[in-house]
Amino acid sequence: MKVFLNKRIPEIGITIMKENGLEVFIPENDKLSTEEWLQYCQDFDLILNVGFHQFDKNFFELCPNIKAIALFSVGFDHVDTKEATARKIPIGNTPDVLSVATAETAFLLMQSVARRSSFYFERVKNGEWEDFDPLFALGQELNGKTLGVFGLGRIGFEMAEKCKNAFGMKIIYHNRNLNEEAQRKLEAEYVSFDELVQQSDVLSIHANFKAEQSELFNAKIFDKMKPNSIFINTARGGFQNEKDLYEALINNKIWGAGLDVTNPEPMIKENPLLQLSNVCVLPHIGSATEEARNGMAKLAAENLVAFSKGKKMPACANEEVYI
């Protein structure tokens, strides 16, 4: 079987595929337009996709030869899984292997915002290290605060555990289902969505994004949050309305925000959020560690190898395809 890989990934993934008899093609120019990407996809059996190309009904109709898709990501909101399942096409993803890296990014953002570190770093670079001022641009301490987790799965658990161990933070969460492990190990408390919003000193998003949750965190929600609260998002930028977030910050509805994902991506340099001292924005680097990216490459490759051998993918986003 022939695999189309639109961007080069860590060598471990490519080696696994080749050693298992898969023919891997990587274009010399990896900055493909949607039209170029689609044209390539039409000529292959399998796809290992890096990035957020849309796998919608139009894609499946234009690429009828595709038999399986492996995503170089945990999230699969850019895939019409119902359409894929109807066509018996399994969609592989890469859960677990990037949980630690992404949680560490959320933890980093929380601390960076709380102590305005990116703001102060810019001042040092600009030669603005001035005389001591006891009242200038103060941060806040995190010790003993309440962490609210929206979506307490693998990544959310890692974040909660770090916050509890480092800062003795109380953990509350809102999920579709109870997380008994978190309740047992972290003394996490399940709360309603409104209670999560109202009680959190730090509110960190770790849920899988769905279309019906588009801009869930908007003016109405920010108005309910504590004025000292910090909003953290390392999941998907679609969760937040950034105009409303900016207004909430400048009007002291909330205290700060740390984003590894934006709406849209990439964030333009003129975005007013970037001018605020209590905001830290990163360019979607949640999984940007050697350990995580190697793990993603390995699992994505293993998903395609398993399919090629008539086996179930070890990580499949639409497991109903096997029913």
Is beta strand 170-174 parallel, antiparallel or unpaired with respect to 189-190? parallel
d(CA 277, CA 54): 35
Helix, strand, coil distribution of the chain in percent, nearest 5:
40, 15, 45
Q: Is 236 a catalytic residue?
A: yes
Q: Are 40 and 6 in contact (CB under 8 A)?
A: yes
End-to-end Cα, the chain, rounded Å: 24
Catalytic residue among 36, 122, 180, 265: 265
The residue among 160, 158, 135 whose CA lies nearest residue 147 is 160
Catalytic residue among 116, 206, 284, 293: 284
Phi, psi of 150 (to 5 degrees): -95, 100
Q: Are 162 and 135 in contact (CB under 8 A)?
A: no
Whether the CA torsion 297, 298, 303, 308 is positive or negative: it is positive
Question: What is the DSSP code (8-state) at residue 268?
Answer: P
- Cα–Cα separations (whole angstroms), residue 31 to 6, 50, 54, 278, 290: 9, 11, 16, 34, 22
d(CA 287, CA 188): 25
Catalytic residue among 236, 242, 293, 302: 236
Going by C-beta distance under 8 Å and a sequence separation of 6 or more, which residues neighbour residue 177? none
Q: Is 265 a catalytic residue?
A: yes
β-bridge partners, 92: 70, 316
Catalytic residue numbers read 236, 265, 284
